[in-house]
Amino acid sequence: MPAATFPAHAKLLDDFAARRPAALARAISIVENRRDGASRLLASLHAMLGRGRRIGITGPPGAGKSTLTARLAEHYRRAGLTVGIIAVDPTSPFTGGALLGDRIRMESVALDDGIFIRSMATRGALGGLAAATRDVCDVLDAFGFDRLLVETVGVGQSELDVAHAADTSVLVIVPESGDSIQTLKAGLMEAADLFVVNKADRPGADRMRHEMKLMLGLRMGQLSRNVPAHHGVDLARVGRRARAERETSHETSAPSWTPPVLATSAERGEGIDELATALDAHFDYLEKSGTLLTRRRGRLRDRVVEGVDRELHDRIWNDRALSAHLEALLPDVEDGRMTPLAASEELIAQVATLLSNSRSTNTESEVA
């Protein structure tokens, strides 16, 4: 089914195609706030996706993620690349930190339309933030940004979701992170492709880096057998990682990736070139190993499933007869004459009829 353009968006899409910054900002607002036509707007942009490299930058509060992101953005701008930045639920506002606050504005990059920055607040709904972030990322990608940097604070499930939406995930820690490293959500460690010990100008950075490598080796070492050494940026053998759930296994001749542990001092701008080189090397690995395709396909699969779940849920629970049936069954469930499961089954039997009758009645509504 071709995506019908929301009439009000015809001009917006023209302006967007002409790369007008105002159109970008408007498209993002529509998508982020799930305004009318948001799904169709995204659908119109779908064919333009896939150019931008998505880089997730996550880590504990105050680790210097924004500063690092700003430095990386500067690096990319110097290389002639455009950069879209999304800061998810920052504890300190993006503009308040070193980013774009002073330094970048000083260098008049703020007026540079090769950089776009958006801060996003946490959505109420579970999983909503990750979805909104991904959609805004799509808009930036469609607009043509070469690099998409997504900063998330914290080390919990929503960060994990955001990490999974990136091509490359960077976990930023600081020399003081010591104990908190032990409590990092296990999945976050496995989801990270690169580790950065920032604030390397502070004491303990080398030790932290060493411990990090050691821990990676422990966690991933046993998975490393028969995997050839990576020729890239990593200087140490820190063990191999498996992403069984995200990637297919490759023959031993396929390129492999050892997550490097880098050191940066974002404030001083040290280690940024090395980080950018490591990011390039990782993307190179993703392409050559076929992992980019499997990762992106996995993300698309998730979205299709999500769409089915949402659509089914809406169709079912928007049906008055079904809701009435549910209410009618409740007294029996209350009195113990019927189990909740039996009631569910009775409703499901009705859902089957409902779905076969309601086919194609929804083409005019918001279907992603």
Q: How many residues bind Mg ion (CB under 5 A)?
A: 3
Question: For residue 140, how far is the Cα from the chain centroid?
Answer: 13
**Residue 98 touches which of Mg ion, ligand GTP, none (Cβ within 5-8 Å per kind):** ligand GTP
Beta carbon of residue 160, minimum distance to ligand GTP (angstroms, whole number): 16
Residues 187-206 that bind ligand GTP (CB under 6 A): 198-199, 201-202
In the complex, the smallest distance separating the C-beta of residue 65 from Mg ion, rounded to whole angstroms, is 5
Q: Which is nearer to ligand GTP, 152 or 291 (CB)?
A: 152
Q: Shortest approach of Mg ion to residue 64 CB, angstroms?
A: 8
CB count within 10 Å of CB 157 equals: 14
Residue 166 binds what, of ligand GTP, Mg ion, none (CB under 5 to 8 Å, by partner type)?
none
59 binds Mg ion (CB under 5 A): no
- Both tokens of 145, joined, read 């940004």
Which one among 90, 175, 259, 260 touches Mg ion, defined by CB under 5 A? 90
Residue 207: CB minimum distance to ligand GTP, A: 16
**H helices present in the chain, as ranges:** 10-17, 21-32, 38-45, 65-78, 103-106, 128-143, 157-164, 178-182, 186-191, 205-221, 272-289, 291-317, 320-334, 340-357
151 three-class SS: strand
- Contact pattern from residue 30 through residue 69 relative to ligand GTP, giving x for each residue in contact according to CB under 6 A and a dash for the rest: -------------------------------xxxxxxx--
Q: Between residues 62 and 144, which has the closer beta carbon with respect to ligand GTP? A: 62
User: What's the CA gap between 288 and 283, in Å, rounded?
Assistant: 9
Residues that bind ligand GTP (CB under 6 A): 61-67, 90-92, 97-98, 153, 198-199, 201-202, 265-267
